[in-house]
Structure 1
Amino acid sequence: MAQRDRGHLHDPPHHLQRLRSKPIPNITIYSKKNCPACKFTMKKLDNNGTPYAVVMVDEDADALALIQSWGFTSAPVVDAGAAGRWSGYSPDRLDGLRVGPVVREVHRFAGVEDRSSVEDKG
């Protein structure tokens, strides 16, 4: 019986290796407590299976100063890297950030949290 090379145990499946050059979306939602537009934004991303991070600007003065330095005065602020930054709930722009099932598999393999199945308890 042949022994498997341990150096390959953590390599992605062959059909996913060609995706290594594609970046994983880097999306940050700057949110506030009791913000309906913030909840709608996160729910839309969850439904689309798009990974993101959340920063609560009412708990983080540095984050609040950052979004204000960008010229934003209301939440949510979406920082989608190369796709741009905007304020408010924008379903069409959020749909443009959607990732497909193959990218979700790459995220799963890389240990990126899948928030698409998280229920809204707020």
Structure 2
Amino acid sequence: MRYNMMFHITLLAIASIALAACDKQPQEQPSAAPAAVAPSAERAPAAAATHTDEAAHAHHGAEPGSYEDWCGAHQVPESLCTRCNPSLIAAFKATGDWCEEHGLPESQCLICNPELKIERPPRPDEATP
């Protein structure tokens, strides 16, 4: 009888520990793909997402190459932003403008080309005549 009771107490203790362990949230593990995010981290502090018009994405139909055609989140023209529009990747790869190591167009990879300057076009009212 005593053996039977010890068995049940042990079984209850194991079940309690197992249930308590299941309630814990798993710890967040670092992402395995930091290189895809790194280029925006390498940019100027203005690349940080804020609620200004600098951080907003271009509206649909913005003229490519215009002031409005700007991805504030990634600091490149929205019409050329492969992180916002992955369907553009094939075109960059087809023209040989692709950095496999960082997952960006070579023409936008500030890690491989630290001297590269990607600047937003001026506002129409700021353009010189």
TM-score (norm 2): 0.30
TM-score (norm 1): 0.31
**Structure whose residues are more often strand by fraction:** 1
Name which structure has the greater RCO, CA cutoff 8 Å, separation 6+. Answer: 1
